[in-house]
């Protein structure tokens, strides 16, 4: 089983966002050293908690300090962008780092609706909901198979990284994303950290999968919220920060990552605020290994991608170290 990293570039309370970006590059280095298969950067906008507004920029920087680990977007929120611009950007990355680049695509805004509207170039009306058309155009550029009569067909040959192109993934947490991934023959990453009831959706993806030039068979990755420390109690303490953040998010409030002490006090004073819980695998190495293995079996997944938000960067790196150690001999390093 492969293990990979999804990085949301968390900003701790009192931390400069630039420090969070430096921490992301440090995590990419650590991921390669520890044998993780992929390092993916998430896309979020206008957030006091998450600094990763431009995954493609982070990936370029991470590629410059690594040599083996795959680099990818988790994901690029395609509705914000021109398919040609995304094709050019990830073609360029693929030319810089041949055989190492993944283009993970999503349709969520990665922001509130006002910010999503601000990201639009044309603000006369909201952007249309035409994700399947955008996806088809993007794949047409990368694979140079737009119909001969398509007005942009000749642009495909101008991509700057050719002959290298990225491996394209579809990301999501809903039946729609699974259906599109199956129909287009793409590997699929399910965001269990957003929706922990996705096993049936992953099964539908595998059953409906249509082989393509992109993948001969379905390939499923599950993204799991995972916090590991030396003991169960220590991991649960680290996880308090994200529990407080989630409780505020459900109320429409965005906050920087609080310290465990701040979170413990707030959660104690607001016992009903965090009743809704998503799956969180938090504990000692043995506890986390069992939790990851159970989730992978539940999804029938080929790979697990681990994501977490904790207040202290050293504790975050240590979490990935402990997971890598406990799975040593069970992961593929390339």
Q: Which of 25, 177, 41, 183 is nearest to 102 (CA)?
A: 41
Distance CA 71, CA 94 (A): 10
In a domain? residue 333: no
In a domain? residue 332: no
Count of all residues that appear for the chain in the document? 334
* The model scores a pTM over 0.75: yes
In a domain? residue 334: no
In a domain? residue 33: yes
Taking CA 95 as the corner, what is the angle to CA 92 and CA 99, rounded to the nearest 5 degrees? 125
In a domain? residue 311: yes
- HSE-CB at 257 with a 13 A cutoff on CA atoms is 25
In a domain? residue 331: no
The answer to whether 236 touches 245, Cβ cutoff 8 Å, is no
Tokens 């922990």 correspond to 196
What are the pLDDT digits (tens) for 163-201?
999 999 999 999 999 999 999 999 999 999 999 999 999
Distance CA 251, CA 248 (A): 5
What are the pLDDT digits (tens) for 264-298?
999 999 988 766 668 999 999 999 999 999 999 99
- For the chain, how many structural domains are there in total? 1
CATH number at residue 202: 3.20.20.30
Distance CA 88, CA 91 (A): 5
Comparing 223-227, 240-244, 303-307, 328-332, the range with the smallest average pLDDT is 328-332
Domain range spanning residue 118?
Answer: 2-326
Identify the pLDDT of residue 106: 94
């Amino acid at each position: 089983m492969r293990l990979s990293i999804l990085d949301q570039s968390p900003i701790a309370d009192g931390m400069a966002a630039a420090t969070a970006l430096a921490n992301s590059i440090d995590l990419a280095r650590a991921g390669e050293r520890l044998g993780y298969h992929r390092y993916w950067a998430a896309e979020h906008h206008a957030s006091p908690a998450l600094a990763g507004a431009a995954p493609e920029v982070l990936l370029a920087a991470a590629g410059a300090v690594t040599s083996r680990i795959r680099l990818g977007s988790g994901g690029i929120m395609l509705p914000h962008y021109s398919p040609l611009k995304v094709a050019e950007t990830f073609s360029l990355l693929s030319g810089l780092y041949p055989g190492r680049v993944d283009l993970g695509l999503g349709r969520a805004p990665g922001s509130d609706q006002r910010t999503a509207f601000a990201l639009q170039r044309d603000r006369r009306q909201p952007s249309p909901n035409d994700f399947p058309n955008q996806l088809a155009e993007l794949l047409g550029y990368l694979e140079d198979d737009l119909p001969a009569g398509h007005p942009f067909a000749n642009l495909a040959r101008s991509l700057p990284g050719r002959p290298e192109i990225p491996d394209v993934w579809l990301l999501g947490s809903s039946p729609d994303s699974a259906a599109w991934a199956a129909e287009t023959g793409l590997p699929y990453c399910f965001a269990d950290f957003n929706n922990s009831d996705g096993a049936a959706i992953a099964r539908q993806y595998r059953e409906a999968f249509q082989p393509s030039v992109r993948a001969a068979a379905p390939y499923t990755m599950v993204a799991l919220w995972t916090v590991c420390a030396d003991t169960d109690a220590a991991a649960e303490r680290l996880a308090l920060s994200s529990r407080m953040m989630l409780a505020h998010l459900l109320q429409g409030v965005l906050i920087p990552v609080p310290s465990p002490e701040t979170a413990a006090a707030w959660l104690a004073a607001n016992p009903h605020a965090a009743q809704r819980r998503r799956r969180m695998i938090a504990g000692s190495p043995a506890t986390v290994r069992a939790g990851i293995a159970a989730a992978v079996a539940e999804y029938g997944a080929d790979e697990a991608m681990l994501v977490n938000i904790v207040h202290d960067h050293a504790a975050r790196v240590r979490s990935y170290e402990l997971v890598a150690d406990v799975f040593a001999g069970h992961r593929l390093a390339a």
